[in-house]
Structure 1
Amino acid sequence: MEEGDPTPALRFSRVSTSTTMLCRAREFLRAEAAALHHIAQRLDAQFCAVAEIILHTDGIVFITGIGKSRLVGEKISATLASTGTRSIALNPSDALHGDLGRLRNNDILLCLSNSGETEELVQLVVAAKRLGVTIIAMTGRAGSVLTRMSDLVLEVGPLREACPLGLAPTTTTTAQMAVGDALALVILEQRGFSADDFARFHPSGSLSKRISRIREVMRSGHALPTALKGTLIKEALLTMCSTPGRAGAVVVTDEKGTLLGLLTDRELQPIMAHTNDIFDTPIEAVMCKDPLTMGPDASVHAAIDLLQRTSREHAIIIDDFQCAIGLIARSDVFKRPRAADNTEAAMRSSRA
């Protein structure tokens, strides 16, 4: 045995410890999953009433809580806001020191508290009721002070925490978040909130690209590399390299703009592996005559799916008259390294 290697007994101890940890982790997850199943069975007309009042309000849904419940409330508020419901997370301490002025009598205050007895929340509810705000409680204790003061109540308990000490908010906060998600999604469906609506609230990032339309992200105008039938390959390569964004392709059309084909590295590589004597060849002799095509109103998600299924690098965007109006490259919709581009190597070879 080499120096520094763990003894068989130590290795067994580590394996035994890992097995125990995995078993316990699974037990904790099952405990929380069982609690969610129990809550799902207990949902009643109060849930529907809460969804209806949020759906039809012309005010703002403020969500508040203390400690972990406040953090859960921030997440629920963000989910509501991103799915069409105006919502703001409200810090109860700040509210009691001036931020209460944000509320109006047509607003809703959703209070998260497992005990339903949190002093700051009780004070906040008293003040909010004076303003005519509708109060909704999400609590684990029926008959609590918060329950009695609220207009509507979502009961998510009593629940036993998954924490082995029975102290750290675990099952209760999971339940709050899950019920908040269910509320947001039910309202989303009732509102008729669409993928296009979702895209308007997510104008940046990879998520936006997946739900945006092709016309919003396609290469067009000066960024669309095109060549007419009869163009020599060396001239097409110059177009490929000089077009902004370097799509690694050239769309081939006739004089009317009708799509004829596509030239990419995929067509050039097998030929150049045997000869470099192709640069004075017309582009239609080597172009792909059946490139992928899509309409401008297709989703970017559809483009991603098409490129994945076909293992292609490009799709050409065409109008109703089969004219090329845009181009999508894999790099436009995938954030991952691409294969090395051999276009510049081909250009150097053509100049040699």
Structure 2
Amino acid sequence: MKTNQETTGPESSEASARKMLSRAREFLRMEAEALHHLARTIDDQICTVANLILRSNGIVAVTGVGKSRLISEKISATLASTGTRSIPLNPTDALHGDLGRLRSEDILLCLSNSGETEELTRFVVAARPLGVTIVAMTGNAGSPLARMSDFVVDMGSMPEACPLGLAPTTTTTAQMALGDALALVMLEQRGLSSEDFARYHPAGSLGQRLLRVREVMRHDDRLPIVLEGTPIKLALLIMYTTPGRPGAVVVVDGHSSLLGVLTDRDLEPIIDQEDTIFSNPIESIMHRDPPTIAPEAPVHAALDLVQRTSREHLVIVDDLQHVVGLLAASDIPGFSCTSAGAKTRIPLAS
């Protein structure tokens, strides 16, 4: 005979899943509604704080306790990535020596929904004699934290989405959103461009999409370049003494037009030959058709070219095909080559 559990199990499981999904949606709606309410009620104090930071020569130290500390790390990271010098600061660590990270020109942004967290208020009391500006982001404008702060960004009282009304949920979502809003209004005020933004995000797909080749290429004294007819020995000397050791040297004619490139890879066939070969002109062993790219090309296009041609060096040329730079694969942010073996180093002939 089947038990009642065996008979009703699948149906109960499906009903439970539907109930869970319904509750998940309800929790999300509660947090979304709290953000809508915050967007309507937030006052111009956030603008005051934004202008304060924009005029400051110091850093913004962001702090909190518990879940607010985790949010403070995210806000600090967002500020840093949008042009504001910022560090996260743990109140406990600050009370045990990290207070020395702060200077009088700095701003201390304190996150606490209740504004009554003991570790945080103790930190603020210890930080005030340093002359730092204290900013509270709190849901309780009458709290001890708010009273001892120079500026208060008031989130207002809001119920937690937690069915017990205990776990920080809605309030931490509001803190994160306010931190984003603060960072983004300052981004706009600074007139930060996508190119500026890319400088703070050089690695990964974001940096490769926004960065331009000219921003990472080797040029001026870091560009190893020789004229046609240069002896291999001298070309190698230039290759290996150029700052950054690029592992390549570009060959041009008298008009700076590209003729070829000599890399470590191109030297491999002559390893076992007589030393006299090093007196031959560089044209005898250089690679005559190196891949080229324009300085304004996006970095991801350079990475595609490296992968497509299997050449580790790209020559940067302008509209007139004059050489203006060199880009090694290792110069590309986020590039990794797991299959590349050790480079061959050729001793200079005496």
Please give the range of the TM-score, normalised by the shorter of the 2 chains.
0.5 to 0.7
Return the alpha-carbon distance in structure 1 between the equivalents of residues 60 and 333 of structure 2: 35
Q: How does 1:17-96 map to 2 (within 5 A)?
A: 17-96=16-95
Match of 1:148 in 2: 147
- In 1, are the aligned partners of 2:202 and 2:333 still within 8 Å (CA)? no
Match of 1:183 in 2: 182
> Could you tell which deviates more after superposition, 56-65 or 318-327?
318-327
Return the alpha-carbon distance in structure 2 between the equivalents of residues 96 and 334 of structure 1: 38
Amino acid in the other structure paired with 1:55: L
Q: Deviations over 1:258-317 (max 9, x none)?
A: 9xxxxxxxxxxxxxxxxxxxxxxxxxxxxxxxxxx985314347x59xx9xxxxx89x98
Compared CA separation, residues 216 and 136, structure 1 to 2 (3 A): closer
Q: How does 1:314-333 map to 2 (within 5 A)?
A: 319-321=318-320
Q: Deviations over 1:12-35 (max 9, x none)?
A: 322222211111111111110110
Long gaps (5+) in structure 1: 1-5, 223-255, 259-292, 308-312, 336-352
Compared CA separation, residues 15 and 294, structure 1 to 2 (3 A): farther
> Could you tell which deviates more after superposition, 145-154 or 194-203?
194-203
- In 1, are the aligned partners of 2:204 and 2:334 still within 8 Å (CA)? no
Compared CA separation, residues 25 and 94, structure 1 to 2 (3 A): same
2:30 is paired with a residue whose SS is helix
Return the alpha-carbon distance in structure 1 between the equivalents of residues 316 and 198 of structure 2: 21
1:153 is paired with a residue whose SS is strand
Measured after TM superposition, the shift of residue 210 of structure 1 is 1.6
2:152 is paired with a residue whose SS is strand
Compared CA separation, residues 177 and 320, structure 1 to 2 (3 A): same
1:297 is paired with a residue whose SS is coil
1:158 is paired with a residue whose SS is coil
Q: Deviations over 1:77-118 (max 9, x none)?
A: 111112111111111111112221221111111110010011
> Could you tell which deviates more after superposition, 124-133 or 169-178?
124-133
Q: Deviations over 1:36-75 (max 9, x none)?
A: 1111111211010000001110011111111000110011
Match of 1:165 in 2: 164
Amino acid in the other structure paired with 1:56: R
Compared CA separation, residues 334 and 151, structure 1 to 2 (3 A): closer
Identity %: 64
- In 1, are the aligned partners of 2:204 and 2:333 still within 8 Å (CA)? no
Long gaps (5+) in structure 2: 218-222, 225-256, 260-291, 310-314, 336-350
Amino acid in the other structure paired with 1:182: A
1:109 is paired with a residue whose SS is strand
> Could you tell which deviates more after superposition, 192-201 or 85-94?
192-201
Match of 2:112 in 1: 113
Amino acid in the other structure paired with 1:160: P
Amino acid in the other structure paired with 1:102: R
Measured after TM superposition, the shift of residue 204 of structure 1 is 2.2
Match of 1:200 in 2: 199
Return the alpha-carbon distance in structure 2 between the equivalents of residues 142 and 68 of structure 1: 20
Match of 1:226 in 2: none
1:102 aligns with 2:104: no
2:124 is paired with a residue whose SS is helix
Q: TM-score, normalised by structure 1?
A: 0.63
Amino acid in the other structure paired with 2:148: M
Q: CA RMSD of the aligned region, Å?
A: 3.9
Amino acid in the other structure paired with 1:72: I
Measured after TM superposition, the shift of residue 334 of structure 1 is 11
Return the alpha-carbon distance in structure 1 between the equivalents of residues 165 and 132 of structure 2: 35
